[in-house]
Copies of this chain bind each other. A is one copy, B any other.
Amino acid sequence: MPTLPKLQDIIQASQRIKNYAHHTPILTSSWFNEQTGGEIYFKCENFQKVGAFKFRGACNAILRLSKDDGQKGIITHSSGNHAQAVALASKRCGYKATIVMPENAPTIKVNAVRDYGAEIVFCDPTIESREETAERIIRETGATFIHPYNHPDVIAGQGTCALELLSEIPDLELIIAPVGGGGLISGTAIAAKKIKPGIKVIAAEPELADDAWRSFHSGSIEPVLRTDTVADGLRTSLGTLTFEAIQKYVDDIVTVSDESIIRNMKHVWERLKIIIEPSCAVPVAAIMDQKINITGKKTGIILTGGNVDLDTLPWSIIDIERV
């Protein structure tokens, strides 16, 4: 049975990936500080390799493989940032990556993964077909499957982001990150609580995909019930490991509306002049809507990624003035 990584695993992951991943910058904004009364430090994983924190976890997991295992190949199923992360990390290690994708995946995402040199195997757009296809390839090739979040090395890799944040801003009182499958919030919470037991770690989630909130309160893993939130990186349910980490180390989970996610995504573009994807705006929405009171608090927010189709921006689809 895999177990949760310890702080030591996260520190080792940080050493392991440091020549592969970016040490991303931290930005501040007097406008957001004035609006919320807090002192906010935005950790910019949108500037990470492949444009998302996912590279940290995939890179750590792949670097931990033996050369023999690596040479049998790496496999995952995803059409999001994890697919690009596995593709690039495999390429950088000289291994072959196979990504299983539904045949209806957007061309823009297929091309992004192909550009990083991975082989794409299409399947029917069902979970069963995706898993069967991956299992068949693993049987045939001996490739190693890298789960997008329910994997100790992936969680340890994602935790390196909080490590950087706390090494630069050691007196943070609160860290907020979004929760989807839970890999990032798990790594963040383990790192933060082990370094600084008094710190608060809060997860933010879309109302339309509030499975982590429900799981946190019911005490068992609840499935995500719909997949239409604009925060497309957060449409997944928790795994056994990430649920355990959340139960042990996360102080609270709050939910925000899609309208607020879009409005605050636009605020970040306008005020910080950086491109973030909708999932990143979930913690920002949580502080702007006062779902989390950060008045007077040094607060770290992890901006998770910046992969957006610039031709279909959410505010040009939904009229946010009506919200």
Contact = CB atoms under 8 A, between A and B. Distances in A.
B269 A310 contact: yes
A306 B274 CA distance: 9
Contacts of A276: 273
A270 to B, nearest CB: 7
B275 A269 contact: yes
A46 B273 CA distance: 7
Contacts of A283: none
Interface stretch (A128-136, A179-187, A311-319): A311-319
A107 to B, nearest CB: 13
Contacts of A306: 273
Given A25-B25, A316-B316, A47 B273 contact: yes
Interface of A: 25, 27, 46-47, 51, 266, 269-270, 273-276, 306, 310-311, 313, 315-316
Contacts of A274: 273-275
A22 to B, nearest CB: 10
A304 to B, nearest CB: 12
Contact of A310 (B27, B46, B51, B315): B315
A220 B46 CA distance: 46
22 contacts: A25-B25, A27-B47, A46-B273, A47-B273, A51-B273, A266-B310, A269-B275, A269-B310, A270-B310, A273-B274, A273-B275, A273-B276, A273-B306, A274-B274, A274-B275, A275-B275, A310-B313, A310-B315, A311-B315, A311-B316, A313-B313, A316-B316
| Among A27, A275, A313, residue most surrounded by chain B Cβ atoms (within 10 Å) | A275
Contacts of A47: 27, 273
A46 B310 CA distance: 19
A112 to B, nearest CB: 10
Nearest to A305: B273
Contacts of A269: 275, 310
A315 B269 CA distance: 17
A267 to B, nearest CB: 10
Contacts of A315: 310-311
A276 B310 CA distance: 13
A49 to B, nearest CB: 9
A274 B275 CA distance: 5
A47 B306 CA distance: 17
Instruction: Identify the 9 closest CB pairs spanning chains A and B, nearest first.
Output: A273-B306, A273-B275, A46-B273, A274-B274, A269-B275, A47-B273, A269-B310, A273-B274, A266-B310
